[in-house]
A and B are shown apart, each in its own frame.
Chain A
Amino acid sequence: MLEARFESPLASLAAPTDTYVSMREIAERGMIDLRGSAGDRKFMAAAKSALGVDLPKQPRTTATWGDVRVFWLSPDQWLITCPRAKAQEMADQLSKDLAGIHSLAVNVSDMRAIIRLEGEGVREVVMKGSAIDLTHGDYPPGTVRRMRFAEIAALLHVVEDNVIDIYVFRSFAQYTWDFLRKAARKGSEVRVFPKAG
């Protein structure tokens, strides 16, 4: 019998050497889409018992517990990232704990690709594709938001000051990779932006 096997959309690509920030795909993270009402105490408590951490209620923030990270996406939607091997088990656990509560937890690990940018100037590289001001104090490490990036829908996660993860739908992975590679090409540094903070 054939078994479904995960293949990373960017596996065949080598890490570029001609960019001024480093780029690589993160294929080992799993993702769970969680929906429910932040105002529902039962839901919040059940989610906490399954995840080990309170769902963040503040817009655009993240919460971390061990290797589990929860992203706030909207008042009734969260994205949970965890090691890929644990995702299905965790989604099942969530569904079990949330039984009877109006909510939804789905393993969407194969839905998106994650590209990690690292190095001095990552914020500038991302700004080449979007209209948001990443040098603003609104974007400290831990910030997460969805945005329009290079004309497509993307999710931005500021991991550290100089580390940014971009989540895009899988079918856009190659496009995003090519865009970033071009935007980050050595010699194309802008250097007019102040440091974040």
Chain B
Amino acid sequence: MLVVTCPVCGVQGEEADFHYGGQAHVRRPATSDPVNITDEEQRDYLFIRHNPKGLHFERWRCDRGCGKWFHAARDTVTLEFKAYYGITELPPVELQQQAKGPWADYFKSVAKAK
């Protein structure tokens, strides 16, 4: 059982008080280019998720509390939560630098766009 803390209302609760919302920072191809999306891109966006050993960025909802969505960075080996951050926010810079796979590309592209 995980112990989760909601960054919005500040309550700490067990996993069942929250709702896991899957992988975070998944880029929707149709957002940047609604016309030229390949079937493969759309398939990957809908169904293919990254399943790393180690640092994982995910979404959670404070299901039985304030009802708000938020982001969390968690280590899938130790189950330790590394950070909680807002649903519209990016993780702390040091975690962005440690990110691998699709997240690394995502954080880099967001930083570039800024």
The one of B9, B64, B68 that contacts A153, using a Cβ cutoff of 8 Å: B64
Number of interface residues of A (CB under 8 A): 13
Query: A84 at the A/B interface (Cβ < 8 Å)?
Result: no
CA A109 – CA B72 in complex, angstroms?
A: 36
Flag if B17 contacts A147 (CB, 8 Å).
Answer: yes
CA A59 – CA B67 in complex, angstroms?
A: 12
By beta carbon, the residue of chain A nearest B65 is A146
Q: Mark B12-34, 1 if CB is under 8 A from A, else 0.
A: 01101100000000000000000
Residues of A within 8 Å of B17, CB to CB, are: 131, 147-148
Residues of A within 8 Å of B66, CB to CB, are: 59, 73-75, 77, 146
By beta carbon, the residue of chain A nearest B67 is A74
CA A145 – CA B16 in complex, angstroms?
A: 16
Query: B95 at the A/B interface (Cβ < 8 Å)?
Result: no
Instruction: Give 11 pairs: A residue, B residue, CB < 8 Å, sorted on A.
Output: A73-B66, A73-B67, A74-B9, A77-B66, A131-B17, A145-B9, A146-B64, A146-B67, A148-B13, A148-B16, A153-B64
Question: A114 to chain B: closest CB distance in Å?
Answer: 18
Flag if B10 contacts A59 (CB, 8 Å).
Answer: yes
Question: B61 to chain A: closest CB distance in Å?
Answer: 11
Question: B64 to chain A: closest CB distance in Å?
Answer: 4
Within 8 A of B (CB), among A67-95: 73-75, 77
CA A131 – CA B64 in complex, angstroms?
A: 12
| B contact patch SS | loop
Binding site for B on A (CB under 8 A): 59-60, 73-75, 77, 131-132, 145-148, 153
Q: Known: A59-B8, A75-B8. Is A132-B13 also a contact (CB below 8 A)?
A: yes
Residues of A within 8 Å of B68, CB to CB, are: 74-75
Residues of B within 8 Å of A147, CB to CB, are: 13, 17, 64-65
The one of B9, B16, B64 that contacts A60, using a Cβ cutoff of 8 Å: B9
Query: B79 at the A/B interface (Cβ < 8 Å)?
Result: no
Residues of A within 8 Å of B65, CB to CB, are: 145-147
Question: B19 to chain A: closest CB distance in Å?
Answer: 11
Residues of A within 8 Å of B10, CB to CB, are: 59-60
**Can you name 20 extra interface pairs (CB under 8 A) apart from A59-B8, A59-B66?**
A59-B9, A59-B10, A60-B10, A73-B66, A73-B67, A74-B8, A74-B67, A74-B68, A77-B67, A131-B14, A131-B16, A132-B13, A145-B65, A146-B66, A147-B13, A147-B17, A147-B65, A148-B16, A148-B64, A153-B64
CA A75 – CA B67 in complex, angstroms?
A: 10
